[in-house]
Amino acid sequence: MSGITAITMPKFGLSMTEGKIVGWSKREGDEVNVGDDLVDIETTKITNAFESPVKGVLRRHIAKRDEDLPVGALIAVVADAKTADAEIDEFVARFQAEFSVDQDNSGAPAAPEPKTIETNGQRIRYLDLGSGEGAPVVFIHGFGGDLNNWLFTQPAIAAHHRTLAIDLPGHGGSSKDAPATIAELAAAVSNTLAELSVARAHLVGHSLGAAIALQMGLTNPAQVASLTLIAPAGLSETIDGDFIAGMVEADRRKTLEPVLQKLFVNKSLVSRDMIEEFIKFKRLDGAKAALSAIAAANFRDAKQSVIFLPRLGELPMPVQIIAGAKDEILAPPDVAYLPTKIAFHSLEASGHMPHMERAAEVNALIEDFVDRSA
């Protein structure tokens, strides 16, 4: 039975313990290739498409639509077309007999928890995962996000590198009396890294976080080993003003859901829990004021206050840009205006959150780029 592959419930993020089958993208009998969307899975954070890890024929759906299953449970079987049904039946029966949630979880180390650090009078929350020689990989989220935005990416990169995901001031578990401009936020990230004794890092920034990474690359290049800019702000004049206003003002499910759906091509990826978590954040003391101040400083009247495009050629470190081809928030940069030394990747079927919609492709691009920039 060596040609039979078990497709199991994946673990999206360190805190995930189970997932729900939302719907299958492939039918029984369909041929699948590595990277094909296989099934949509809902977690407490997001609904995400799970991509096939293997090539073959999807011979069996084990999990049914709307079924909740623990991480590691068998959800499907892929094999070649010549494998007999009886062999697959035997494989499934043996897997189910040997699989035990309790056994799977016994002795497993507890998921690492975020920590906080004080720097310049501010509390900064961060998640430190992985280990390795060389400069760590530092993740900087976008406007209104937090370190959980990297739940599909940080654990994957942490398999071979030390990684740090930071809650920007005004966001997540960091202080809400936040600095507002990109330069001030970049200084806060730089100070946080210094406090953590990180002298040099590979920066991976998304949207506003990418603009902050660009600012750090220009003002303190010795601290930056490479830049990966995902759906970056700071490279064009305009931004979706309705989205920015909605992120600041919307505080109910009915008004917030269409705002968050702008982030994705597949609107169904926005789960009820994702909305509830954002509403919970908005109700924290100072959260709305912090978002409002950052929006006013950087995105007033749907215009971006800082444009880095003319200065990209000054960056001495390797730079790559990853953009969603169907981004509704920020138009992808015009490749004709980018320095030829900057690698540009446009991902189809992705909006403003390619690291959540096309996580496997983005993770591979980051891993390869960091390794080549070491």
- For residue 69, which amino acid is it? L
Asked whether the beta carbons of 49 and 40 are under 8 A apart, the reply is: yes
- Whether 257 and 202 map to the same domain: the answer is yes
- Whether 136 and 43 map to the same domain: the answer is no
Determine the pLDDT at residue 241.
96
Q: How far apart (Å, rounded) are the C-alpha atoms in residues 190 and 68?
A: 42
For residue 324, the SS3 value is strand
258-297 residue pLDDT tens: 999 999 998 888 888 888 888 888 888 899 999 999 999 9
Residues 6+ apart with CB under 8 A from 174: 116, 122, 123, 124, 125, 166, 167, 168
- For residue 146, which amino acid is it? D
- Whether 183 and 147 map to the same domain: the answer is yes
Q: How far apart (Å, rounded) are the C-alpha atoms in residues 10 and 28?
A: 20
Residue 110 lies in a domain: no
- Whether 150 and 286 map to the same domain: the answer is yes
Determine the pLDDT at residue 106.
40
- Whether 151 and 83 map to the same domain: the answer is no
Determine the pLDDT at residue 110.
59
- Whether 139 and 259 map to the same domain: the answer is yes
* Full-model pTM: 0.82
**Residue where one domain finishes, among candidates 79, 104, 129:** 104
Query: What is the domain extent for residue 85?
Result: 4-104
Work out the number of other CB atoms within 10 angstroms of the CB of residue 2. 5
Total of domains in the chain: 2
Low-confidence residues of the chain: pLDDT under 50: 1, 104-108
Residue 134 lies in a domain: yes
Determine the pLDDT at residue 105.
46
Residue 257 lies in a domain: yes
**Residue where one domain finishes, among candidates 104, 125, 150:** 104
Q: How far apart (Å, rounded) are the C-alpha atoms in residues 41 and 67?
A: 10
- For residue 92, which amino acid is it? V
- Whether 303 and 197 map to the same domain: the answer is yes
- Whether 238 and 315 map to the same domain: the answer is yes
- Whether 181 and 50 map to the same domain: the answer is no
* Run of H or E residues at 223: none
Question: What b/e readout covers 180-207, taking b as 16+ CB neighbours within 10 angstroms?
Answer: bebbebbbbbbebbeebebeebbbbbbb
Asked whether the beta carbons of 327 and 233 are under 8 A apart, the reply is: no
- Whether 260 and 156 map to the same domain: the answer is yes
Mode of pairing for the β-strands spanning 68-70 and 115-119? unpaired
Work out the number of other CB atoms within 10 angstroms of the CB of residue 8. 20
Determine the pLDDT at residue 111.
66
Determine the pLDDT at residue 15.
67
CA 97 vs. chain centroid, Å, equals: 35
